[in-house]
Structure formats: C-alpha cells, structure tokens
Structure 1
Amino acid sequence: MTDLAPRELRVIVAVAGARGFSAAARELSMTQSAVSHSVRTSERRIGAVLFERGRRGATPTPAGEVVAAHARRVLRLLEVMGAEARGIAAGGGGADTVGGPLRIAAFRSAALHLLPPALERLTARHPGIEPVVRMVREVGRGTAGEVLDGRADLAVATVGTTSAVEAGLVGGVLLEEEYSLVHPAGHSAPRTLPLVDWAENCTSYTRDWWAAQSWIPRATVEADDDGAVLSMVSRGLGMAIMPGLSLYGAPDGIEITALGPDRPTRSIGYLTTPEQARSLAVRALIRELRAASGIAAVSDSRKSD
C-alpha cells in the first residue's frame, strides 16, 4: 500500500501546479530542499518518477499527472470530511449546516443560463455553501477533465449518446436541448447563407443527422464562442445551427427556425466522482440543478416552422 501523508500530497500538487520546486516551496512556505526531499520520498514509495527535472523547472510525467490528480481529489475529500463533520456537530442534522466552497466547472451557456437559478436556490437553502464556478471550454477533456483532475467537485457537461461518460465518473442527464436554425430575421433563403460555427458546437452534433444534410456547407466563419456566433448572425454574416441554451438572450435581428422532427439534440448533464456524489453539498447541488433544468428549455414561441 502506498502510504503518503496529506503534507506529501500537497507538495506533489503544488509542484505539479507551479511546474517547479522553487515556486512550490514559496507557495507552501517551505525550503526548496524540503520540497525536493518530499517529492523524492513520494516517488520512492509510489515506485515511479513523478517529475522530469530540468533547467526550466519540473514537468509532471504521465505518472505524475495521474498522481497529482488523485492527490487533489484525496485532499479535497479530506476537506469535505471536515466540513461535513463540523456541520453535523453544529446542527445535529448535517444537511442544513453544510458549508464551505463547492467547486463547479461548466461550459459557457450552462454557466450563464442553467447554473444561476440552481445556485440561487442552493445558497438560499444552504447559506454556508460558497459556489466557485469556472467556465471551461467543452472541447478535449472539457469540464469532465476538471473533475477527473481534482480541480472541480462537479461538472456541467455534454453527456449521453454524443459524449460518453469517462471512466471514474458518475452522472445523469439534466436537460435535452434541441438544435435550431438561427439566421438573420426576415431572410428569404437562410439555408443558402454561409455557416457560422464555433469549436465547442461541433463536438455535440448528432453525426448521422449532420452528414445527411446536403444543404449545410462547411463553416466559412468561425467564432470563439456561441455569443460571438449570435452576434455575427444578427449582423447578417451567416446562419448557424445552435443548441437551446445558447439561444437564451439572443440579440435582436435574428430568427430561430425549427429543424423538423429529425432535428439533432444535445444532452446536458452533471458529472462527478463516486465519492463526491455522496457528499452533502454535491447532492444538494444536483437536486437544484434538476429543478432548474425544468425551466431551462428555450421557449418555442421564438421558433417558426
């Protein structure tokens, strides 16, 4: 069994984050030699080299990346353990007195439109909880990677058939979004316009539906995020195919048209670790996310057949 103390785990996390022994030493108020000794001891006990040492600092090896992620998660569980124990001791029930930071990773449209009502209800019921939200682009490892790496307790992510749940995580679907055609209002032939797109959007398309649409051109205009896409469409620069959450607060000058009964959809859900799924704060947040998802669909009154 690998026997590392919390102090040693904190050193590993600090070196991985700072990419160097000197910077980690300053962060931890330790000497560089003490940090170096701690890492060497941890490497010996684990049986693997965790960092490549060089003139420019210390870069985590593949093994080091895995160990740092586990270390973050273990340290976070120790924090949760203490917070829940103090809550139970103070209030007798635990659930009403849970407190401390709750780290959430979400992509832009979810952070803007799904999280706020959930967090409003959460903090009203549990004033001691302090939500810490990071917006993360839903590309590559996306928000799920933040949980796996121990940087977030829960992720709001694309899940389901379009994005398989990564090993080591658990979750559920909160909302099914429909994709719609978005185009300049009043345009007589919007499907002939150039396609405006952004990197996060393409990973969520239903591939078979997309391939079957001969009228959809290759994107000739690409934007940084869905808000920029809407701005460009409103200026008459093209049309877009976008999911429901992205259409909240859409600017004037655009029209939203349904794509028909075979339209693509996107599943929005939550992901967390099995351990965090049992924590009081994460369970409370999941309850509020489920409640908020019931009002998160874009109104059909803005769509035309």
Structure 2
Amino acid sequence: MRPTLRQLEYIVAVADAGQVGLAAAQLNVSQPSLSAQLSEVELDLGVTLFQRGRSGAKITPAGEEVVRRARQILHEHKDLRAAAQGGGIFQGRLRLGVLPSIGPYLLPGVVQRLHRDHPSFRLIVREESTRDLDEGLRSGRLDMIISTPEDHPGAKADMLFTEQLWAALALDHPLLVAATPLTLPALAGQTFLTLGSGHRLSHIVAGLAATAGGRVSDEYEGTSLDAIRLMAATGAGVAILPSIYAATESRRGTDVSLHLIKDPAASRTLALIQPNLPKPRPGSELLAEVLRSEATRILRAA
C-alpha cells in the first residue's frame, strides 16, 4: 500500500520541521533518503506536496490536505495499537491543547494523578487561544483540546464543567462598599478588562459589558489572567476572571477583591473536544472524568 505509514510519518515530519534536513535528523535518516521518499510519494499521488528551496520546504495547498489526512491516519493507527494493548490513550502520547485561562490552574493536579496511575503515559500540553486550538484540532496538530464547545462545530465534545465568572476589583475600588455578589447593573459605567480577541472569554466579557452599560478596555488586552488581574489591582478597570482561576487566587491571597457576578450570562462551559470520528479515542472518557474530578476538588476547596 502506498503511501506507506513510514512515508506518511516522513510527510508529517517535514511539514512540522519546515526543512527536509531538520526532519531527516529528527527521524534519524539521511537527507537524500528522505528526499527520495518524498519524491516517490509525490509521484504516486500525482501532486507536489512541498516547494523545496534554500529557505526550506514550504507546504503546497494540495500538500496541506495530504498532511491533514496523514496525521489522521497515523493517529488512527496509534489508536488501533493502543486499543489492542488495552491501554487506550494512556498507552502512549497525547497532544492536548488547552486555553491559557484554564490550563495552568486545572492541569497540575490532573498531570500528577495521570503520572501516578499511568506512568508510561506522555501528556504534551500546548496553551493556545481558542482560534489556534480550533486550527490545531482540525489540522491534526493536536489530538484533543480543552475549550469552549461552541467554538468547535463538528467536533465531538464531552462536557466537563461550567465556570461562573468573577469581578476582580482594586482594593480601593468604590464598589467595595457594595454587597457581594455583584449584579451587572452594579457594573454600569465600568471598564472591563479581559484577554485578547482570539479568546472566547473576550467575547463573553464584551457581552457582559454591553448588558451592564460598561465598556471593554481598548487600551489594554491581556495575554494572561494574571496580567489582567494585575491591571485591575492598579485601578485600570474590572478584571473578569473564571471560577477555577478565582479559586486559585483566593487560596494564595490576592491583591484584588473578588466578587461573584450574579447573572446567568456570566459563565462559560468547558469541554474535552476531539475530532468527530466514528468512535471516540479509547480512554478519552476516563480523561474527561479525571478533569471533572479535579475541577470539582479545586472549587470545593475555595
């Protein structure tokens, strides 16, 4: 059968490395041998996969689709072997994409538990924006992602939990005289601080600001929840923070005052998302349960 699985691995390696020589070194094969295999595949398929030159190997439009399908075939083959051995995803490696507004606060306990229960399991985590997570899942660069399901139509989503949103106020903010929790009308006229536009959280915050009669800051877009919390501490505005992060902050002490926003729209739902294959990857249900369990533990401890 051509292209062979090994040839598919070569194609994906060159696409990832962007250079034939670098891909050959990573695969521990000679560059001439790898080039010959690429040429053989291109001849068999009747398309040019890469434009090769001094600047590297640039993937062609036809090559992008071949690489996407090659990743999928290789993943299916890996799943087949894992299923036969009875370990599912925990038999090998999983590339997990996660929102930066949840990963650093949810995953440490999850990784510790998985390492204890499945010592041979390799979890590779990539923190990316909602937009980049979707691209990574579609291209096969990521095996699964933790994200907001409405942003990934056509994928399979296992719901994990729903987070309420909190307002972080400077310690001398006038609203501190008000009772907790806060309602949206109480935030009228306030400047809302949030992540950049590539994140679903920014769209949720924009909706809250519009309902409250406030505005989203156009002077500052944070790249992390820590960054917008620090801006709120200086009095630059009201930072909107999800529950898992807020729970982490409340345990270690904070430079802001945290107030639950009492409104149905002040929430987001997170899911474990994977390509919509005929059957979910073996072991994904267990991973989802571990994630749910850790989220529950963090929120109960707050």
- Taking structure 1 as the reference length, what is the TM-score of the superposition? 0.79
Cα distance in 2 between the residues matched to 1:31 and 1:253: 56
Q: Which runs of 4+ in 1 moved over 6 A?
A: none
Instruction: Report whether the alignment pairs 1:138 with 2:137.
Output: no
Identity between Structure 1 and Structure 2 (%): 23
Query: Please, which moves more after superposition, 247-256 or 10-19?
Result: 247-256
Alignment correspondent of 1:159: 149
Q: Deviation per CA, 1:12-57, whole angstroms, max 9, x where unpaired?
A: 1121112122222333333333322322222233343221233311
Query: Please, which moves more after superposition, 226-235 or 109-118?
Result: 109-118
Residue type of the alignment partner of 1:140: R
Residue type of the alignment partner of 2:214: W
Cα distance in 1 between the residues matched to 2:94 and 2:170: 40
Cα pair distance change 1:252/1:97, threshold 3 Å:
closer
Q: How far off its partner does 1:157 sit?
A: 1.0
Cα pair distance change 1:276/1:246, threshold 3 Å:
farther
Residue type of the alignment partner of 2:149: V
CA contact (8 A) 2:160 2:288 kept: no
CA contact (8 A) 1:154 1:271 kept: yes
Q: Deviation per CA, 1:42-81, whole angstroms, max 9, x where unpaired?
A: 2233343221233311111232223223222322332333
Alignment correspondent of 1:126: 118
Q: How far off its partner does 1:203 sit?
A: 4.3
Cα distance in 2 between the residues matched to 1:97 and 1:265: 30
Q: How far off its partner does 1:272 sit?
A: 1.1
Cα distance in 1 between the residues matched to 2:88 and 2:7: 33
Instruction: Report whether the alignment pairs 1:79 with 2:81.
Output: no
CA contact (8 A) 1:96 1:126 kept: no
Instruction: Report whether the alignment pairs 1:224 with 2:215.
Output: no
CA contact (8 A) 1:177 1:297 kept: no
Structure 1 unaligned segments of length 5 or more: list them. 88-93
Alignment correspondent of 2:105: 113
Instruction: State which of 180, 187, 197 in structure 1 corresponds to 2:166.
Output: 180
Alignment of 1:274-293 (within 5 A): 274-275=276-277, 278-293=280-295
Structure 2 unaligned segments of length 5 or more: list them. 177-186
Query: Please, which moves more after superposition, 71-80 or 175-184?
Result: 71-80
Instruction: Report whether the alignment pairs 1:64 with 2:63.
Output: yes
Q: How far off its partner does 1:255 sit?
A: 1.3
Q: Deviation per CA, 1:194-239, whole angstroms, max 9, x where unpaired?
A: 4433213654417654433322243322322111111222233332
Q: How many residues align?
A: 286
CA contact (8 A) 1:277 1:283 kept: no
Cα distance in 2 between the residues matched to 1:25 and 1:138: 31
Q: Deviation per CA, 1:150-189, whole angstroms, max 9, x where unpaired?
A: 33322111223xx2x243x211221112222211124114
- Taking structure 2 as the reference length, what is the TM-score of the superposition? 0.80
Alignment correspondent of 1:99: 91
Alignment correspondent of 1:257: 259
CA contact (8 A) 2:205 2:240 kept: no
CA contact (8 A) 2:130 2:147 kept: no
Alignment correspondent of 1:31: 30
Cα pair distance change 1:225/1:276, threshold 3 Å:
farther
Specify the SS of the correspondent of 1:114: helix
Alignment of 1:6-21 (within 5 A): 6-21=5-20
Cα distance in 1 between the residues matched to 2:257 and 2:89: 47
